[in-house]
Amino acid sequence: MIRVDSITITEFRGIRDLTLNFKDRNFAVCGPNGTGKSGVVDALEFVLTGNVSRLSGEGRGDISLKQHGPHVDIRNSPGRAHVKATITIPSLGKTVAIRRTVKTPTRLQVTPSDPAVLEVLRQVQGHPEIVLSRREVIRYVIATPGDRAKEVQPLLHLDQVEDVRINLQKIANDCQRQLPPITSELDQARVRLLQALQIADLTEEKVLIAVNAQRVTLGLKALGSFTETTSFKDGIAVPAPAVPRRIPKAPALTDIRAAREALAEICSTNTTTVVAGAAAELKAIAGDPTVAACAKREAFYTAGMELIQTDACPFCDIHWDLVEIKKHVQGKIDELEELARKRREIEGKIAPLIHILANVQSMMKTLVGYAALATPPITMEAARDYGEECGRSIEMLRSVLPAQEALLALNYFRSVPQAIATFISDLEGLVAALPEPTKLDAAIEWLTIAQERFEVFLHIVHKQKVAVKRAETTRLVSDIYAATSDTVLP
Amino acid sequence: MSTESKPDDLSDVPKLVFDKFLQALAGANAPPDVVGRLRKTLLDDKKFTERTLREAVLPEEQPR
């Protein structure tokens, strides 16, 4: 902290020669327009910081300190325009004289000069908020007592502290939201793996018993452990590329049963109840034109907020009040926050429906894969289209907005097309009619499918680990920041 | 007065908050690379946008 004892202004702005002695008291300057009141404030800012806010920064066009700092009568002699001040630094118990000229505004003359004094002056120079604009002063003076603390925040750059808090929280929330879809994907992969292994729990003991039973049939050495690098097929000769793949009869019949169960879930009583609840929520926001408009502007506001870094518009260079414009845009974003909260609520209700669709999509893909190996060929376009449509519906439901599209996606839960039922019956008939494979072929097919699904499962496990780590890190950062800023700024 | 004996304490409130935050983060066993990048973003570059903070906390993520 410093105290300005006196100031002498020479040929600076509208002032030819003026000395003010503040006498360690509050000091006010008053007078008609154009008499140089702001020049006193400019001089004070200039001698302390080497800058005059009103003459610098973006959006000031051709105005510059060197051109417009000196008095109009000596505009070509910036060396004559200077400001001197005497200041006291209570913490050091020292009084020093400082002087700065417009010709060399970055050079501050300090008498007496020592490192401690220079450090204090350096800190002052880094804080141009020592000079408040008329608008800032008025805003603070007319604020109601309850709002005064809020008004002083931008003056102390507390808006920066708040910006960081909001952004860290948003990043942490985003990472958290990425977890449920991955968890759902992992659940499906686990179910598919268990189906292939024909066991109920994914324990090392049960996996080894199931896998080794097949390996013993093939005369292969039993596996002693089950890790991420375990290959169920270890020791099986790789088939020549020319040998066409056959439909593995037993696994295919198991998957056909699983597909029927997945499709039955679409129209179950429980699902219908969940669909009705989600539809009611979606209809409520679909009928609100404000919601639709806000949703479209969300990305625009967020990007705009990042562009508000200087005191002029980055598009047209028109000057704006940095604090006011940030507050204005933040207000818009706050409106969207209410929308985001509602969206999170609906996402929670929709999550089980997405899980059902994802399961159906996965089963359709598997059955289409079997159908591609069928001889004679069977019509599978309907199943392929159904699976793809399922994927599109999942995306629409995950987005939630536009609500009209999410509502359309809910139509998916009304019934299963007859063409799908026909496809599954045809495939089942074809698979059932296949000759029973030899024990050796059946064991190879079993181990091959189990290995494929094990690898898919591992891939998603890895993906989930990364997502969990990201969510934990961002949450830790956000929580510690919130706690620290609350402690420092109680 | 205490405010006069410690003039630096309140001279830069954001820096004060950021310094304490980074100390607390390091003490909470946050990944050192994350702490280092946040230090650069908050104290050196003084960039507080979502994009810059995201790059500091999740450097492997593509900018959105």
Return the higher-pLDDT residue of A57 and A239. Answer: A239
Residue B24 forms part of a structural domain: yes
Q: Is the pLDDT of residue A77 over 90?
A: no
Residue B7 forms part of a structural domain: no
Q: Is the pLDDT of residue A37 over 70?
A: yes
SS3 sequence, A180-205? HHHHHHHHHHHHHHHHHHCCCCCCHH
The share of chain B scoring above pLDDT 70, in percent, equals 77
Q: Is the pLDDT of residue B64 over 70?
A: no
Return the higher-pLDDT residue of A456 and A72. Answer: A456
- The residue with tokens 């007859």 is A418
Give whichever of A230-239, A317-326, A378-387 has the largest mean pLDDT. Answer: A378-387
Give the minimum alpha-carbon distance from B4 to chain A in angstroms, rounded to a whole number.
5
Q: Could you report the per-residue pLDDT of A305-316, keeping only the tens digit for each?
A: 767 766 677 777
Q: Give the pLDDT score at A62.
A: 53
User: CB A179: neighbour CB atoms within 10 A?
Assistant: 14
C-alpha Rg value of chain A to the nearest Å? 37
Determine, for residues B57 and A474 on separate chains, whether the beta-carbon distance falls below 8 Å: yes
Mean pLDDT value across residues A4-20:
91
- Quick one: angle between helices B50-57 and A289-307, nearest 10? 70
Give the minimum alpha-carbon distance from B7 to chain A in angstroms, rounded to a whole number.
6
| Amino acid letter for position A265 | E
Structure tokens given for A287 = 């009928």
Structure tokens given for A105 = 């505004």
Structure tokens given for A466 = 């990364």
Q: Could you report the per-residue pLDDT of A275-316, keeping only the tens digit for each?
A: 999 898 888 888 777 776 776 677 677 667 767 766 677 777
* B12 in A contact zone (CB under 8 Å): yes
Determine, for residues A480 and B54 on separate chains, whether the beta-carbon distance falls below 8 Å: no
**Spatial separation of the C-alpha atoms in residues A198 and A451, rounded to whole Å:** 13
Q: Give the pLDDT score at A474.
A: 95
Q: Give the pLDDT score at B33.
A: 94
Q: Give the pLDDT band (50/70/90) at residue B1.
A: very low
Residue B37 forms part of a structural domain: yes
Determine, for residues A123 and B17 on separate chains, whether the beta-carbon distance falls below 8 Å: no
Q: Which of A237-241, A243-247, A366-370, B19-23 has the lowest mean pLDDT?
A: A237-241
SS3 B49: coil
Mean pLDDT value across residues A323-327:
76
> How many CB pairs (< 8 A) connect A and B?
91
Q: Give the pLDDT score at A481.
A: 95
Q: Give the pLDDT score at A154.
A: 66
Residue B63 forms part of a structural domain: no
* A489 in B contact zone (CB under 8 Å): yes
Residue B29 forms part of a structural domain: yes
Q: Give the pLDDT score at A70.
A: 81
Distance of CA A215 to the CA centre of its chain: 48
Q: Give the pLDDT score at A155.
A: 67
Q: Give the pLDDT band (50/70/90) at residue A58.
A: very low
Backbone angles phi, psi at B33, to 5 degrees: -65, -35
Q: Could you report the per-residue pLDDT of A364-375, keeping only the tens digit for each?
A: 999 999 999 988
Backbone angles phi, psi at A405, to 5 degrees: -70, -40
B33: which chain A residues are within 8 Å (Cβ-Cβ)?
A: none
Please state, in angstroms and as integers, the Cα–Cα distance from residue A292 to each residue in A133, A233, A300, A339, A393, following that order.
39, 53, 14, 10, 19
**Spatial separation of the C-alpha atoms in residues A257 and A370, rounded to whole Å:** 14
Q: Is the pLDDT of residue A338 over 80?
A: no
Structural domains in chain B (count): 1
Return the higher-pLDDT residue of A1 and B13. Answer: B13
Q: Which of A117, A474, A480 to mutate to test the interface with B (most CBs of B within 10 A)?
A: A480
Q: Could you report the per-residue pLDDT of A244-264, keeping only the tens digit for each?
A: 578 888 889 999 999 999 999
Q: Give the pLDDT score at A152.
A: 67
Q: Which range of residues forms the domain containing residue B31?
A: 12-57
Give the minimum alpha-carbon distance from B36 to chain A in angstroms, rounded to a whole number.
13
Residue B62 forms part of a structural domain: no
Q: Is the pLDDT of residue B26 over 90?
A: yes
Q: Could you report the per-residue pLDDT of B27-56, keeping only the tens digit for each?
A: 998 999 999 999 999 999 888 888 999 999
Q: How many residues does chain B have?
A: 64
Mean pLDDT of chain B: 80
Mean pLDDT value across residues A465-473:
94
Q: Is the pLDDT of residue A41 over 50?
A: yes
**All residues at 6 or more sequence positions from A393 whose CB lies less than 8 Å from its CB, including other chains:** A357, A409, A412
Give the minimum alpha-carbon distance from B26 to chain A in angstroms, rounded to a whole number.
10
Residue B5 forms part of a structural domain: no
Q: Is the pLDDT of residue A129 over 70?
A: no
**Spatial separation of the C-alpha atoms in residues A170 and A479, rounded to whole Å:** 12
Identify whether the C-beta of residue A75 lies closer than 8 Å to the C-beta of residue A82. no
Q: Is the pLDDT of residue A232 over 70?
A: yes
Return the higher-pLDDT residue of A363 and A343. Answer: A363
- Quick one: angle between helices A158-177 and B13-27, nearest 10? 40
SS3 sequence, chain A? CCEEEEEEEEEECCEEEEEEECCCCCCCCCCCCCCCHHHHHHHHHHHHHCCCHHHCCCCCCCCCHHHHCECHHHCCCHHHCEEEEEEEECCCCEEEEEEEECCCCCCCEEECCCHHHHHHHHHHHCCHHHCCCHHHHHHHHHCCHHHHHHHHCHHHCHHHHHHHHHHHHHHHHHHHHCHHHHHHHHHHHHHHHHHHHCCCCCCHHHHHHHHHHHHHHCCCCCCCCCCCCCCCCCCCCCCCCCCCCCCCHHHHHHHHHHHHHHHHHHCCHHHHHHHHHHHHHHHHHHCCHHHHHHHHHHHHHHHHHHHCCCCECCCCCCECCHHHHHHHHHHHHHHHHHHHHHHHHHHHHHHHHHHHHHHHHHHHHHHHHHHCCCCCCCCCHHHHHHHHHHHHHHHHHHHCCCHHHHHHHHHHHCCCCHHHHHHHHHHHHHHHCCCCCCHHHHHHHHHHHHHHHHHHHHHHHHHHHHHHHHHHHHHHHHHHHHHHHHHHCC
Among A306, A476, A484, whose Cβ lies nearest the Cβ of B30? Answer: A476
Q: Give the pLDDT score at A146.
A: 66
**All residues at 6 or more sequence positions from A233 whose CB lies less than 8 Å from its CB, including other chains:** A447, A448, A451
Q: Give the pLDDT score at A227.
A: 86
* A476 in B contact zone (CB under 8 Å): yes
Q: Give the pLDDT band (50/70/90) at residue A59.
A: very low
Q: Is the pLDDT of residue B62 over 50?
A: no
Residue B64 forms part of a structural domain: no
Q: Could you report the per-residue pLDDT of A353-405, keeping only the tens digit for each?
A: 999 999 999 999 999 999 999 888 888 999 999 999 999 999 899 888 788 88
**Spatial separation of the C-alpha atoms in residues A336 and A304, rounded to whole Å:** 14
Identify which of A301, A299, A348, A298 has the alpha carbon closest to the alpha carbon of residue A177.
A348
Give the nearest chain A residue to B27 (CA atoms).
A480
